[in-house]
Amino acid sequence: MEFSIKQKKGFPEKIGELAAMMEITRDLTLFEVAEFTEAELDMIDDKGSNSIGALLMHIAAIEFVHQVITFENRDLNEEEQKKWGAALELGERGRKAYYGQPLDYYTDILAEVRKNTLQQMKKQQDSWLYEEGEWDNGIKHNNYYLWFHVIEDEISHRGQIRMMRRLFDHA
């Protein structure tokens, strides 16, 4: 693993740097969970928390949603909501939906979603990052912020995963 931000080859400059940051973030997340067993992926530290498996699905779901918003300029449709809803909501619904799966189940989904993200980003120009949208509540955003949010969300949940690992290691 390399710990420097450089333009990812095959991308426009700024998008390439963003893609490189996303890849470093993902590599570190995968490193954190690399040795987890199915039982560890299913553990929760209290009734209201999410399992590590559910958090991994949430990371994939957030990225998928941002693909739809930024590449297709729309919200999730009914079919996509059914597929990703539990991962987006987490809580009881997520705990029920993501249980009893091996690590490969989660990492394969993460890889599939990321592959599509990178393919779509290669088609964009750096100016795409600055294209603005507006949510129903009137708050404006741009594509750069939305993809920054994908990174920050994954880092935040990786922190939760690290805390859970420490709890499990001391249980």
Q: Is the pLDDT of residue 1 over 80?
A: no
pLDDT tier at 92, thresholds 50, 70, 90: confident
Q: Is the pLDDT of residue 100 over 70?
A: yes
Does the model's pTM come out above 0.75?
yes
What is d(CA 25, CA 59) in angstroms, rounded to the nearest whole number? 11
What is d(CA 31, CA 49) in angstroms, rounded to the nearest whole number? 22
Q: What's the pLDDT tens digit per position in 4-63? A: 788 888 999 999 999 999 999 999 999 999 999 999 999 887 777 899 999 999 999 999
Q: What's the pLDDT tens digit per position in 9-26? A: 899 999 999 999 999 999
Q: Is the pLDDT of residue 80 over 60?
A: yes
Residue 148 is predicted with a pLDDT of 97
- pLDDT, the chain, mean: 93
Burial class, 163, CB count within 10 angstroms (exposed 0-12 / middle 13-18 / buried 19+):
exposed
CATH of domain 13-169: 1.20.120.450
Q: Is the pLDDT of residue 159 over 80?
A: yes
% residues pLDDT > 90 (the chain): 80
Residue 166 is predicted with a pLDDT of 84
Residue 170 is predicted with a pLDDT of 55
Task: Pick 98 or 170 by higher pLDDT.
Answer: 98
Residue 147 is predicted with a pLDDT of 98
CA distances from 60 to 19, 134, 137 (A): 15, 23, 25
Burial class, 32, CB count within 10 angstroms (exposed 0-12 / middle 13-18 / buried 19+):
middle
Residue 171 is predicted with a pLDDT of 55
Q: What's the pLDDT tens digit per position in 140-158? A: 999 999 999 999 999 999 9
Q: Per-domain residue ranges for the chain?
A: 13-169
Are 15 and 124 in contact by the 8 Å Cβ rule? The answer is: yes
Other Cβ atoms less than 10 A from the Cβ of 161: the count is 21
Query: What contacts 14, CB < 8 A, 6 or more positions away?
Result: 126, 129, 144
